[in-house]
Chains A and B, each alone.
Chain A
Amino acid sequence: MNQRPAANVLENDFLTIRHAILNVAAGLDRIDEGSDNATAKDDHRIQQIKNALAILAEPDLGRAERVQLAFSRPYEPGWNKK
């Protein structure tokens, strides 16, 4: 249903995307610059962030869905039959 020319979408959204990426970069710096940052590095959320960042660089559609999954606990089929 999105019939808008990609160039128009880019024009509209460029600053929002730039703003979001800059926030990510500054946030990662803030964690690294904190004292005793080795503890934070072992936190599973750091790995989630790394996985999510890798998804951003992928070429195919559905990045938002895959980033959501990168931050989600996995589902186990048959959980209710145990």
Chain B
Amino acid sequence: MDYIDPHIHMVSRITDDYERLARSGCVAISEPAFWAGFDRGSAEAFRDYFSQLIDFERSRAAQYGIQHFCWLCINAKEAENVTLSREVISLIPEFLDRPGVLGIGEIGLNKNTPNETTIFTEQVDFAASRDELILIHTPHLEDKYLGTRMILDVLTSDSRVKPERVLIDHVEEHTVKRVLDAGYWCGMTLYPITKCTPARAADIIERHGTERIMANSAGDWGPSDPTAVPKFIFELRRRGHSEATIRKIVYDNPIQFFSQSKRFDFTPRT
């Protein structure tokens, strides 16, 4: 089955992973700007990173027949440095109109600190003022519930934010309902230990339905599996769900959400 991985960090993966993705049916990916595992020393490092996402990864993916899209921002972890964050935000306009850039992301919270909240609010404002799509990272583990509630509070307090143009990622059992009920899109991340397993993600689908929901691998430099989405597809199939139901989550839904960006120039396989 053709599928789209709506959240994966290919800058951290080797070229063999592109081949594995292509062999497993992946036709497109969206790569949010994120924390590289270390704090960058200057805004110039982000200029290079944005170029890598927009040019290098796009062409590396194309060699395997995978269409690459990306998101730009200062991530929640490095947002603790407010001065650096504002310098990075000021760089974004020069990259925003490049092909394949879908919007602002993954912004959000990490440890739910005041500085993170300040920069998250400023990036929501930046995106809203330009009517850009937004992709949001919710915190890990014990910080997720509180952080997701805080993120929803910030989004609700900006009347320009349209929920149908926001994707809130890494939802789990305790956050998914609130996100969907408020009209946002959501993503479930398939991680072996710290997030959803394919079985728990399938449970969430059976409980909350297939509207405005997608599944991703969030493959990055840490323990993660870039081909996690096919495992989720297999789990749904094993439970007897129709191909149309599965396809809606892993293909139609990402296309429907991303198509709200004029720079989503996706061509389906013929």
Contacts and interface: CB of A to CB of B under 8 A. Distances in A.
Interface residues of B, number: 25
A73 B146 contact: yes
B200 interface: yes
Interface in B1-59: none
B207 interface: yes
Contacts of A65: 173-174
17 contacts: A1-B209, A3-B240, A4-B239, A4-B240, A64-B200, A64-B203, A65-B173, A69-B145, A69-B174, A72-B143, A72-B144, A72-B174, A73-B112, A73-B142, A75-B149, A75-B150, A80-B117
A4 B143 CA distance: 34
Contacts of A35: none
A73 B145 contact: yes
A74 B147 CA distance: 10
B268 to A, nearest CB: 27
B94 interface: no
A1 B205 contact: yes
A71 interface: yes
B157 A73 contact: no
Contacts of A79: 150, 153
